[in-house]
Amino acid sequence: MFEKRFEVDLAESRSSRICLLLPGRLPEISSQEFHSFVATHRSKTMRPLVSIVTPSFNQGRFIEETIQSVLSQDYPYLEYIVVDGGSGDNTLEILRKYESRLRWISEPDRGQSHAINKGFRIARGEIVAWLNSDDTYLPGAISKAVDYLEKNPSLMMVYGEGYLIDENGRVKCRFPATEPFNLWRLIYYGDYILQQTAFMRRQLFEHIGMLDESLHYGMDWDLWIRIGKNFQMAYIPEYLGNLREHSTAKTYGGGLRRFEELVKIIRHHGNRRFPPAYFNYGWEPYQEALLEKIHRSIPWLELEWFSKAGSFLRKLIAYLIFKRITKLSQPSPFADGWLSDRASFLFPQSKDKRTLRLIGSTQHVPDQALPQTIKVLVNGKMVLQEKVSRQDHFEITHLLSQEIPAPPLLEVTLRTNKSFVPSRFGVNDHRRLSFQLKEINLV
């Protein structure tokens, strides 16, 4: 409970471990005082404290597995907080079993976002994350995330690969949406960041705030976008967590209410009313609502026949509507840096950074796909056209005109006139590719 002494491992060597013991109630020590003390007394070789928050409500069926996946991590500087919303099942009994190794509170809250924020406010860690009470971490997840953040101090958040698991914890498949960070795709195509793999520096909350407590389905997506708009984040090719699929999971419910909330997020952060994400998230709930309305209006329709008709209708309309956006269904750039024949990026505007720099490579592009003409569009207007004639590394720089409007985000689109499919050259790769992107940014 919160009465327990708070122990933080500050340093570890081969011979001894130095510990800071903070007795008494936690609220007596503010986060600011704690971080000030740590910054003053911790040497550069000491590793950061990580705080994991688990929001919980009547998940006694799964929460023990969640707890064990956190407490079994090999990272020693760990604080674990469970914020329960007043569960009426066996959750509290399970929490009491582990209260010597974690801190917990059980009281009514205003929903999941409020519970997570409550945990973040009392957390002492320099790095924070939350793990829902039906999901799990993979072994070594925290160590891998901390290592990457320590090696890349400019990053404020990292996320990685994960799995979908069933009710019994068996792996079903890789979480299919994960891809390297691209702010344009995050806003306009959909949330490809698996929350169970995300770790953040706590200090970013001072600039962008915590989770939006008015959101109940897309609060993590909204937070990722806000972080991406203001800070650097990165994908790491490591498997870190598991998302559990089961009939009562909130992720797979909500229907039209969930969709309406996601549309609110899309239109708040972007300037497109009907981007691919609108159709990705909207077709399923709208189809179900439409078929249900028809069935209520014509109750004599046979449900089995109606379901088959609905399935056919879904496939037909999906083909007609989504044919235009199928190119966007694959990430660009891919995890190995390859671009398709079109890719879009968003960058926060900066008065100090007005030069667009693109570094790429055509070293492994076949002769049939050369020369390539790369067109660069900024906010929909073509600003540059560059020809790449041979297999080599190349760099393109362009000073942005002061005449270009300065919205909060700068949209950069790359288009190439030639591409190739590796499978046609005897390689087991069916992607349509143009060149490898090494770097694109504003400098």
Q: pLDDT digit string (tens) for 231-263?
A: 999 999 999 999 999 877 766 566 788 888 998
Whole-number pLDDT of residue 406 = 61
Three-state SS for 2?
Answer: coil
Model confidence over 271-291: pLDDT tens digits?
878 777 777 776 665 556 555
Fold of 342-442: Jelly Rolls (2.60.120)
Q: What is each CA distance from 147 to 112, 143, 197, in whole angstroms?
A: 29, 6, 14
Whole-number pLDDT of residue 179 = 93
User: Is pLDDT of 196 > 60?
Assistant: yes
Lowest mean pLDDT among 20-29, 74-83, 434-443: 20-29
**Segment 399-426 mean pLDDT:** 86
Cα 206 from Cα 196, distance rounded (Å): 22
Extract the tokens encoding 367: 């002769």
Whole-number pLDDT of residue 297 = 62
Domain parsing of the chain, residue ranges: 6-252, 270-329, 342-442
Q: Is 406 or 385 the better-scoring residue by pLDDT?
A: 385
Cα 399 from Cα 20, distance rounded (Å): 52
Whole-number pLDDT of residue 292 = 59
CATH architecture of 6-252: Alpha-Beta Complex (3.90)
Whole-number pLDDT of residue 418 = 96
Q: What is each CA distance from 394 to 304, 357, 358, in whole angstroms?
A: 59, 11, 8
Task: Give the model's confidence band at 133: pLDDT under 50 very low, under 70 low, under 90 confident, else very high.
Answer: very high
C-beta separation of 117 from 216 below 8 A: no
Whole-number pLDDT of residue 354 = 85
Angle at 123 between CA 121 and CA 126, to 5 degrees: 115
Q: What is the mean pLDDT of the chain?
A: 84
Three-state SS for 438?
Answer: strand
Three-state SS for 163?
Answer: strand
Whole-number pLDDT of residue 352 = 80
Q: Is 212 or 44 the better-scoring residue by pLDDT?
A: 212
Model confidence over 308-365: pLDDT tens digits?
555 666 556 555 555 555 555 567 788 899 999 999 999 987 778 889 999 999 999 9
- Output the pTM of the full model: 0.80
**Segment 289-299 mean pLDDT:** 58
Using the structure block, give the residue that is written with the tokens 């050369």.
370
Q: Is 226 or 290 the better-scoring residue by pLDDT?
A: 226
CB atoms within 10 A of CB 329: 11
**DSSP label of 138:** P
Task: Give the model's confidence band at 409: pLDDT under 50 very low, under 70 low, under 90 confident, else very high.
Answer: confident
DSSP-derived secondary structure for 334-398: -TTSB--SEEEEEEE--SS--EEEEEEE-TT--GGG-SEEEEEEETTEEEEEEEE-SSSEEEEEE
- Among 122-136, 278-292, 397-411, the range with the most confident prediction by mean pLDDT is 122-136
